[in-house]
A and B are shown apart, each in its own frame.
Chain A
Amino acid sequence: DAKTTQPPSMDCAEGRAANLPCNHSTISGNEYVYWYRQIHSQGPQYIIHGLKNNETNEMASLIITEDRKSSTLILPHATLRDTAVYYCIVRASPFYGGATNKLIFGTGTLLAVQP
């Protein structure tokens, strides 16, 4: 699986958009970009994933560059409850014959939402 690079920490003001970047320059054609977050000592929470098109759900938006070498997770209106470690992970999807279901977690980005 390809590796990802994320900044170790970011701050964001409450009510503003939080934009979390991720580099995955060695991503393969059949690998998706997944985002999870972990609020202090809880189990990771799935946020969103995508292949090459931009995706949006009730939690966030995922913007993937055309060359797929990087992506940005956008929380449109950050709240204090969004303070967490955000993990960007690339993984082959079983829809594309991905042989592994492993999620390989890096160190993530600690997002601190400030009041």
Chain B
Amino acid sequence: SAVISQKPSRDICQRGTSLTIQCQVDSQVTMMFWYRQQPGQSLTLIATANQGSEATYESGFVIDKFPISRPNLTFSTLTVSNMSPEDSSIYLCSVEGAPGVITDTQYFGPGTRLTVL
């Protein structure tokens, strides 16, 4: 399985500011995803990060609030913009697949714990 790292691992931010979370994989992957886990809740998919094109967002999530970049097959960023305390969550990236290879298992990074004051 791929080794996935996220930066930062945690942060405390002031409301109204923005934070960019990085996800780095040690091998090329086909699919990259971003999830949110609010306190005491299960995981919710935010969007699929597409290389070279705009991310595909799930219902309830918009690009202005959660802009995503994916410049290559090993790296993606998620920005949480104009933060409010309701954005306090764990943000997780996940990956699946490799170029030219169909795989069917998704692996998760360690997560970024965000607290907004």
Chain A interface residues (CB < 8 Å from chain B): 32, 34, 36, 41-46, 49, 87, 93-95, 101-108
Contact = CB atoms under 8 A, between A and B. Distances in A.
Interface of B: 1, 4, 31, 33, 42-45, 48, 90, 92, 94, 96-97, 102-111, 113
Nearest to B109: A43
B96 A101 contact: yes
A101 to B, nearest CB: 5
Nearest to A106: B42
Given A41-B90, A101-B31, A102-B45, A46 B106 contact: yes
13 contacts: A36-B108, A43-B94, A44-B94, A46-B1, A49-B104, A93-B104, A94-B103, A95-B104, A101-B96, A101-B106, A103-B45, A103-B106, A105-B43
Nearest to A48: B105
Contacts of A105: 42-44
Given A42-B110, A43-B110, A94-B103, 6 more contacts: A43-B92, A43-B94, A43-B109, A43-B111, A94-B97, A103-B45
Q: Give the dominant DSSP class at A's interface.
A: loop
Contacts of B96: 101
A107 B4 CA distance: 24
Nearest to A92: B104
Most buried by B among A36, A44, A87: A44
The 7 residue pairs across chains A and B that have the minimum distance between CB atoms: A43-B108, A105-B43, A105-B42, A93-B104, A44-B108, A43-B110, A43-B111
Contacts of B33: 101
B111 A46 contact: no
